[in-house]
Amino acid sequence: MSLLFTPLTLPAPRGRLTLPNRIVVAPMCQYSAVNGEATDWHLMHWGNLLNSGAAMFTIEATAVLPEGRITPGCLGLWDARTEDKLASTLQRARKLAPHTAVCIQLAHAGRKASSALPWQGGQLLDAAHGGWQPYGPSALAQLPGEALPIAMDASELARVREAFVKAAVRADAMGIDAIELHGAHGYLLHEFLSPLSNQRTDAYGGSLENRMRYPLEVFAAMRAAYKGVLGMRVSASDWVEGGLDIAQSTVFAKALKALGCDFIHVSSGGVSPQQKIALGPNYQVPFAQQIRAATGMATTAVGLITDAQQAEAILQSGEADLVALARAFLYQPRWGWQAAAALGGTVEANPVYWRCLPREAQAAFGKVAVGGR
C-alpha cells in the first residue's frame, strides 16, 4: 500500500485534523496582493490548487503587519480590511473544493521586507520607490550596501508578537484548518535564530537559548490564543559556516514540541548571501529526517521533490510524515492526481474535470464521468 495515500491525523488542543493523504501544497508567494488584500489572481490560484489532489493547501506567506511584507505585492492579514478580503476570496475558492484542508503561513519578513518584486530585481526599496523602513533583531543589512534595518526594541518585540496572535485569531475566525508560523528563509523569526543576523547583547541574542527566546515567545503566545493545528516552518541550516545548523535546529524543534507544536516543516537557507547550498533531489530531506528522529513530531519534507515514486520513498524510509511540493504544483496543477494514478492511490476531485482522465488513470477516482453530450 502506498504510504503517500494513507491518512495522517494531526492532533491539536481543540481536536484532530485528519488528512486523507500525505501530500501538501507548500506556500508560494504570488506577489499579487493590493495593499495586502487578496485579488482575483488568488481566487484563481487557490481554486486551482485546492483541486490538485493534495490533502492540504497552504496559503502563501501572509504578513501580520504592513511592514512585515516581503514586497508591496505580498498578502496580509493585519486588520478587518485584509481579513474580509482574504476570507471572502477563500470562501469562494473553497466552494470548488471543500474536501481540501487549508493552512495559512503567517509571517513577518524582518530585514528582508520592503523589497521589489522578484521580476523587478528584488532589491531593497526606499520610501521614494514604494518601500518602508524594515526592522530586524539587529541593525545588520541582508546584503552589502543596503540600508540598515532598525534593531527591534522591547516595545516593537511586543507589538509584533501581538500581531502574530491577532492574525492567528483572524485566521481561525475564517475557518482556516491549520496555521504554519514562518520561521525560515531569512525572515524575522529565522533572523533571531541565526547568529549571522542576530548580534544582540540582551536576553534575545548570543547563546542559542537566547536566540530561540523570541521565536518561542511568539509561538507560545499563538498557541495560547489558537487551539487548532499549529506548526512551524524552519530553516534547519543556514548553509554557512558559523551559522544556524541542524544540531541547533533540533534543539529548537524539541522546544517547540514542548510548547505544543503539532507539526514542523523543514526547509533551509535564506538568511545569508554567503550560503552554499548543495542543490539536488531531496537535498533538504536529511534535515527533516534528523528532526523527526529526535522529536517524534509530525514532520514535513520539502525541496526538489518532483515525482510520486520519490515522494513515496521518503515516506517509506521514515524520513518524514508529509511531503510538500511547491513549483511542481505550479507546473503540474494536478500532480496529486498523477501521483494517485502512479501509486494506486485515490483522491477527491471536482467532477467537472473527471472526463479529462486518461483510461489508465481512471482507477484513481471512485466514479468517473466518461459520457456527456
- In the residue annotation, 187 being an active-site residue is answered as yes
Q: How many CB atoms lie within 10 A of CB 368?
A: 16
Q: Grid coordinates in use for 45?
A: 490560484
Are 188 and 68 in contact, with CB atoms under 8 Å apart? yes
Dist CA 197 CA 253 (whole Å): 20
Nearest alpha carbon to residue 322 among 344, 334, 335, 305: 305
> What are the beta bridge partners of residue 287?
none
Region class of 113: left (phi > 0), else alpha (psi between -120 and 50), else beta: beta
What is the C-alpha end-to-end distance of the chain, expressed in Å?
A: 37
Nearest alpha carbon to residue 287 among 316, 309, 265: 265
Query: What DSSP string runs through 100-142?
Result: SEEEEEEE--GGG-SB--GGGT-PBP-GGGT----EESSS--S
Q: Grid coordinates in use for 145?
A: 550596501
Per the listing, cell 503517500 goes with 4
Q: Grid coordinates in use for 21?
A: 493523504
> Cα–Cα distances in Å, from 153 out to 134, 203, 280, 323, 361?
13, 12, 40, 38, 57
Dihedral of alpha carbons 118, 119, 122, 126, sign: negative
The single residue of 187, 204, 214, 226 carrying the catalytic annotation is 187
Dist CA 13 CA 262 (whole Å): 9
Catalytic residues: 187
